[in-house]
């Protein structure tokens, strides 16, 4: 027979698969509590690092024996360091949030589309960043990239949280606020003693943000209802739906167009998304239970 | 069978003259595949159905076994003449062997305060699938295109697929549930086989007209007695397939189904289906093109070793669309809509073709007798184009 049976060689996985088909190992270098249930981890590679993620992309994080979770990059450091900001909501994310300094975690990625902030398409355009809750996590590296860009228009960062205690990256928001090249506004649903900022919806912050709607790109991430409100507000202000980019969440088991779980109509959110133009997703999200 | 044997392999490829082998020749071919290292899998009658399992030779094949299928109904029958492939498709399909229902993707072992990762396990032996029908041959190709869309195709499945040997068979007795003439996938086995058989049981004896589809197919005939097919053999084979096609009455226009469903996410008929659908997931599990999987961790008791195990999943489960807080598709209505719309409509957007190969399995194996062809017709607003 022409076809020979391949002799099975057990063991060492090929480099090409590490970090994609099965995880590369990283070590927790620092762990910082952002809020009572949100933690930011800085991860340093133990194995060959995964290719550098672009802002908006995500990885699959694996705490030993406790599943994998899709988690965005919330920051990018030197030497292949990754930052992730995680809310403990279930078994996998609780295990991730419980990891201490020195603990080992598996990483596959990076996966999916990104905010496109590295693209010359944004040259000269105003950018409005709208974040609700943990939506600030995937947007943070986009802001970092935008602050460094050469031919920039104006940049606004509008942040909403449930309460002052739920605000992530509060120190950094404070530093951003003092910059002249950045408009920052923060609002909470419910104030607390000592809060002198605004109270209300994040979309209320659009009115005071400096942008020319005909020359603006908006980056939006947060709960789906919030993104819908934000997109509606931006559209009402005159921003074209093709220029409103939002980041979607769907159940994900594989992140590589295999498990089928992340489908939203014709889209595989793991590969076509998570960042998608509002013009594409609005008609899909309008169908209940799609 | 007299004639040439062994050493002179028929040439592969298009335009190759077909050859004829008898039942003993088929037996030798199956044994030859096993000797060459293949795990040979074929149809086996068991527990009231023709399923796919390991076969050693023709004695394991379901001689004289046919089937009757209808909406919500599948029954084996006796067929005179002792044909080995008088049945059509049962609940199993090739995907069971090319992308198995349960397998380990990778595993990890505790190591100090960290862990080590063991990549994908070594390849299993290659599989030789005997008796693959036209619809299932097409389904293998549909699943190939699904895999190719992945930015990181699964290495084990890609390898299993590349090494698989396929012996296809033309259908002679289509079931009432079949509609491969609509999807262009049967009853004759199309491209993608290594060998394709037409079974003949006429006055000239029980024999198989064999078309050679690849060099591997030609090589597999080495050691098997064969003779060139005569014009009479070829005529008889063409009649078998022509008669089979003529008996298929169920119709579905795949291009029209795409448009109909794309325009119908809020159609009231989904509520009607939801009243009948049990959300049992049978349709997705018997469908030869469905590919959804779930991955879960399996840890040993001591907690020192953990495997990532992939298993077949279905969009009919609540977990399929779970986001913390609840499932996106909480109602049966939305889950049935996902199944049918994905299969017949959004599959086009994702992969450039329909996800249905017309095998009829989901119709026969639905405990509620839901018939996708009739549901599409109802949504299209037309009277059913064919009845069960
Ligand atoms: C592209 C993307 C980026 C994300 N980025 C972040 C991030 O930066 N920080 C963060 O804290 N969370 C993020 N999430 C959400 C995170 O993936 C889920 O919270 C997590 O999977 C929940 O798993 P669990 O086992 O802890 O919870 P459980 O509720 O016990 O989850 C059970 C199963 O449901 C699925 N699931 C539940 N909720 C979600 C969800 N929201 N999204 C996807 N699958 C879910 C998972 O398959 C999980 O295995 C992101 C999700 C996506 C899709
Ligand atoms: S949808 Fe039904 S008829 Fe079509 S390929 Fe799947 S099981 Fe067969
Ligand atoms: S979403 Fe449903 S219909 Fe589509 S492949 Fe997965 S199980 Fe099959
Ligand atoms: S997450 Fe598995 S297909 Fe997208």
From the list A4, A253, A288, the residue facing B295 with the nearest CB is: A253
pLDDT > 50? residue B356:
yes
pLDDT over 70 (residue A228): yes
pLDDT value of position A16: 66
Q: For residue A112, what is the enclosing H or E element?
A: none
Whether the pLDDT of residue A84 is over 70: the answer is yes
CA distances from B200 to B81, B206, B365 (A): 10, 6, 29
Q: Is the CB of residue A54 less than 8 Å from the CB of residue A118? A: yes
Q: Looking at beta carbons, which residues of chain A come within 8 Å of B150? A: 256-258
* Averaged confidence pLDDT in chain B: 93
pLDDT value at residue B9: 63
Q: How far apart are CA A276 and CA A281, in angstroms?
A: 7
C-alpha of residue A182 to centroid of ligand 2, in Å: 55
- Please give the pLDDT value at position A99: 97
Q: Cα–Cα distance between A111 and A93 in angstroms, integer? A: 18
pLDDT at B382 (0 to 100):
54
What pLDDT does residue A27 have? 97
Q: Whose CA is nearest to atom 3 of ligand 2?
A: B360
Give the nearest ligand 1 atom to A94 CA. Answer: 26
Ligand 4 atom closest to the Cα of residue A254 is 2
How many angstroms does the Cα of residue B323 sit away from the middle of ligand 2? Answer: 28
**Over chain A, what is the mean pLDDT?**
92
Distance of CA B326 to the CA centre of its chain: 34
Cross-chain CB nearest to A289 (options B155, B319, B330): B330
Which tokens sit at B132? 């693959």
Residue of chain B minimizing CA distance to A102? B113
Look at residue A87 in the predicted model and tell me its pLDDT: 97
pLDDT value for A1 = 34
Question: Is the Cβ atom of A252 under 6 angstroms away from ligand 4?
Answer: yes
User: B22: how many CB neighbours lie within 10 A of its CB?
Assistant: 18
What does the pLDDT read at residue A17? 80
Q: Print the SS3 string covering A207-275.
A: CCCCCCHHHEEEEEECCHHHHHHHHHHHHHHCCCHHHEEEECCCCCCCCCCCCCCCEECCEECCCCCCE
Residue A13 banded pLDDT, cuts 50, 70, 90 = very low
**Most B-contacting residue of A257, A282, A284 (CB-CB within 10 A), to test interface:** A257
DSSP for B245-302, written as a single string: HHH------HHHHHHHHHT-TT-THHHHHHHH-----HHHHH-SS---EEEEEEE-TT
What percent of chain B has pLDDT above 90? 90
Closest CA to A278 of A222, A238, A219: A219
Q: Where does residue A174 rank: exposed (0-12), middle (13-18), buried (19+ CB within 10 A)?
A: exposed
Looking up tokens 């050469």, which residue turns up?
A150
Q: Which atom of ligand 4 is nearest to the CA of A70?
A: 1
pLDDT digits (tens, 9 = 90+) for B29-57: 999 999 999 999 999 999 999 999 999 99
Distance CA B93, CA B114 (A): 41
Give the pLDDT of residue B190.
Answer: 93
Inter-residue contact B340 to B347 (CB < 8 Å): no
Among all bound ligands, the one having the nearest atom to the CA of B139 is 2
Selection from B369, B179, B157, B180 nearest residue B282 by Cα? B369
pLDDT surpassing 60 at residue B388: no
Distance CA A220, CA A218 (A): 6
Cβ–Cβ of A1/B33 closer than 8 Å? Answer: yes
Q: Which of B10-14, B69-73, B113-117 has the lowest mean pLDDT?
A: B10-14
CB proximity A51 to B under 8 Å: no
Ligand 3 mean position to B262 CA, how many Å? 16
Q: What is the pLDDT of residues B303-335, one digit of tens each?
A: 899 999 999 999 999 999 999 889 999 999 999
* Mean pLDDT of the region B186-205: 96
Name the minimum distance, in Å, from the CA of B294 to any CA of chain A: 6
Mean predicted confidence (pLDDT) in A221-242: 96
- Alpha-carbon gap, residue A139 to A157, rounded angstroms: 9
| Bond into B113 cis (ω within 30) | no
Say if the Cβ atoms of A250 and B323 lie within 8 Å: yes
Give the pLDDT confidence score for residue A148 in this predicted structure: 82
Residue A281 has pLDDT above 80, yes or no: yes
Tokens of B142: 């549909």
Check residue B113 and give its pLDDT: 85
Decide if pLDDT at A257 tops 50: yes
Segment A145-170 mean pLDDT: 91
Shortest alpha-carbon distance between residue B64 and chain A (Å): 31
Q: Would the pLDDT of A25 be above 80?
A: yes
> Residue A270 has what pLDDT?
98
Q: Tell me what percent of the residues of chain A surpass a pLDDT of 90.
A: 84
Q: Which of A85-89, B13-17, B246-250 has the lowest mean pLDDT?
A: B13-17
- The answer to whether residue A131 scores a pLDDT higher than 60 is yes
Residue B230 has pLDDT above 50, yes or no: yes
Residue-level pLDDT at A242? 97
B interface test, pick of A261, A271, A274 with most B CB neighbours within 10 Å: A261
Distance CA A229, CA A243 (A): 16
Q: What is the pLDDT of residue B15?
A: 54
CATH for A20-111 (3.40.50.920, 3.40.50.9100, 2.40.30.10, 2.30.30.50): 2.40.30.10
Burial class (CB in 10 A: 0-12, 13-18, 19+), B191: exposed
The reply to whether A225 touches chain B by the CB within 8 Å rule is: no
Please state, as a whole number, how many other Cβ atoms lie within 10 Å of the Cβ of residue B201: 18
Asked if residue A7 has pLDDT above 90, the reply is: no
* Closest residue by CA, ligand 2 atom 7: B287
Tell me if the bond preceding B158 is cis, omega within 30° of 0. Answer: no
DSSP helix/strand/coil, B166: strand
What number is the ipTM of this complex? 0.93
- Residue A6, chain B, CB below 8 Å: the answer is yes
pLDDT grade for B16, boundaries at 50, 70 and 90: low
B-chain residues near A1 (CB < 8 A):
32-33, 36-37, 216, 219-220, 222
pLDDT digits (tens, 9 = 90+) for A173-196: 999 999 989 999 999 999 888 888
Residues of B in contact with A102 (CB under 8 A): 113
Task: Please check whether residue A286 touches B, CB under 8 A.
Answer: no
Task: List the end-to-end C-alpha distance of chain A, in Å, as a whole number.
Answer: 50
Residue by residue, DSSP assigns A113-171 as ----TTSGGGTT-EEEEEEEGGGHHHHHHHHHHHHT-SS---EEEEEEESSGGG-TTHH
How sure is the predictor about A77, in pLDDT bands with cuts at 50, 70 and 90?
confident
CA B315/CA B151 separation, integer angstroms: 22
Q: Is B290's C-beta closer than 6 angstroms to any atom of ligand 3? A: yes
Cβ–Cβ below 8 Å for A289 and B220: no
Whether the CB of A283 is below 8 Å from some CB of chain B: the reply is no
Q: What is the pLDDT of residues B129-161, one digit of tens each?
A: 999 999 999 999 999 999 999 999 999 999 999
| Of A216 and A4, the one with more pLDDT | A216
pLDDT tens-digit readout, B357-381: 999 999 999 999 999 999 999 999 8
Nearest to A226 by CA among A160, A170, A140: A160
Task: Choose the mutation target among B297, B299, B324, B340 for the interface with A, i.e. most A CBs under 10 Å.
Answer: B297
CA dist B173 and A153 (Å) reads 70
Q: State the pTM of this model.
A: 0.94
Tokens of A265: 């109509």
Please report the number of interchain residue pairs, chain A to chain B, with beta-carbon separation below 8 angstroms. 168
Predicted pLDDT at B14: 47
């Amino acid at each position: 027979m022409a076809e020979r049976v391949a002799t099975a060689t057990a063991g060492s996985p090929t480099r090409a698969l590490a970090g994609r088909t099965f995880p590369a190992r990283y070590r927790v270098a620092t762990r910082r509590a952002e809020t009572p249930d949100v933690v930011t981890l800085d991860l340093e590679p133990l194995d060959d690092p995964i290719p550098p993620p672009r802002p908006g992309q995500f990885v699959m994080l694996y705490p030993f024996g406790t599943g994998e979770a899709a988690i965005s990059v919330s920051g990018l450091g030197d030497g292949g360091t990754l930052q992730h900001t995680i809310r403990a909501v279930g078994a996998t994310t609780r295990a991730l949030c419980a990891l201490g300094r020195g603990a080992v975690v598996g990483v596959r990625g990076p996966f999916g589309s990104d905010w496109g902030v590295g693209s010359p398409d944004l040259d000269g355009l105003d950018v409005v960043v709208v974040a609700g809750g943990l939506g600030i996590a995937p947007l943070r590296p986009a802001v970092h990239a935008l602050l460094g860009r050469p031919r920039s228009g104006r940049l606004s960062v509008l942040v909403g949280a449930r309460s002052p205690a739920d605000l992530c990256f509060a120190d950094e928001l404070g530093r951003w606020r003092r910059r002249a090249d950045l408009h920052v506004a923060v609002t909470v649903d419910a104030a607390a003693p000592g809060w002198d900022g605004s109270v209300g919806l994040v979309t209320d912050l659009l009115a005071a943000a400096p942008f020319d709607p005909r020359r603006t790109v908006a980056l939006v991430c947060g709960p789906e209802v919030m993104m819908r409100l934000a997109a509606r507000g931006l559209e009402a202000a005159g921003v074209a739906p093709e220029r409103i980019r939002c980041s979607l969440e769907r159940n994900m088991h594989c992140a590589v167009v295999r498990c089928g779980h992340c489908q939203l109509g014709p889209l595989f959110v793991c590969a076509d998304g998570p960042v998608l133009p509002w013009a594409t997703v609005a008609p899909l999200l309008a169908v209940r239970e799609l | 069978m007299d004639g040439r044997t062994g050493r002179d392999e028929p040439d592969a490829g298009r335009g190759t003259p077909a050859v004829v082998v008898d039942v003993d020749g088929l037996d030798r071919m199956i044994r030859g595949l096993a000797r060459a290292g293949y795990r040979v899998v074929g149809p086996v009658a068991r527990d009231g159905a023709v399923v796919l399992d390991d076969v050693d030779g023709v004695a394991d094949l379901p001689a004289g076994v046919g089937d009757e299928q209808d909406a919500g109904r599948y029954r084996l029958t006796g067929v005179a003449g002792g044909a080995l492939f008088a049945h059509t498709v049962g609940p199993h399909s090739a995907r069971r062997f090319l992308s198995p229902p349960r397998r380990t993707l990778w595993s990890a072992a505790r190591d100090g305060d960290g862990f080590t990762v063991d990549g994908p396990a070594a390849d299993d032996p290659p599989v030789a699938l005997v008796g693959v029908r036209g619809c299932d041959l097409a389904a293998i190709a549909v699943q190939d295109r699904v895999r190719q869309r992945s930015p990181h195709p699964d290495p084990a499945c890609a390898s299993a697929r590349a090494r698989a040997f396929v012996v296809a068979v033309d259908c002679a007795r289509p079931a009432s549930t079949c509609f491969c003439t609509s999807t262009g996938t049967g009853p004759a086995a199309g491209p993608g086989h290594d060998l394709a058989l037409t079974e003949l049981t006429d006055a000239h004896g029980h024999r198989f007209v064999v078309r050679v589809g690849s060099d591997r197919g030609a090589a597999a005939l080495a050691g098997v007695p064969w003779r060139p097919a005569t014009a009479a053999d070829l005529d008889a084979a063409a009649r078998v397939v022509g008669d089979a096609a003529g008996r298929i009455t169920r119709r579905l226009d795949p291009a029209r189904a795409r448009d109909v469903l794309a325009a119908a996410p809020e159609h009231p008929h989904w509520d009607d289906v939801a009243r009948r659908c049990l959300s049992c997931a049978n349709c997705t599990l018997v469908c030869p093109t469905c590919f959804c999987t779930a991955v879960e961790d399996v840890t040993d008791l001591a907690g020192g070793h953990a495997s990532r195990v992939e298993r077949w999943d279905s969009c009919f489960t609540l977990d399929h669309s779970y986001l913390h807080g609840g499932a996106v598709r909480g109602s049966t209505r939305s889950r049935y809509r996902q199944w049918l719309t994905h299969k017949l409509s959004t599959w086009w957007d994702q992969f450039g073709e329909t996800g249905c190969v017309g095998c009829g399995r989901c119709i026969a194996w639905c405990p509620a007798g839901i018939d996708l062809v009739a549901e599409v017709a109802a949504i299209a607003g037309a009277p059913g184009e064919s009845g069960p």
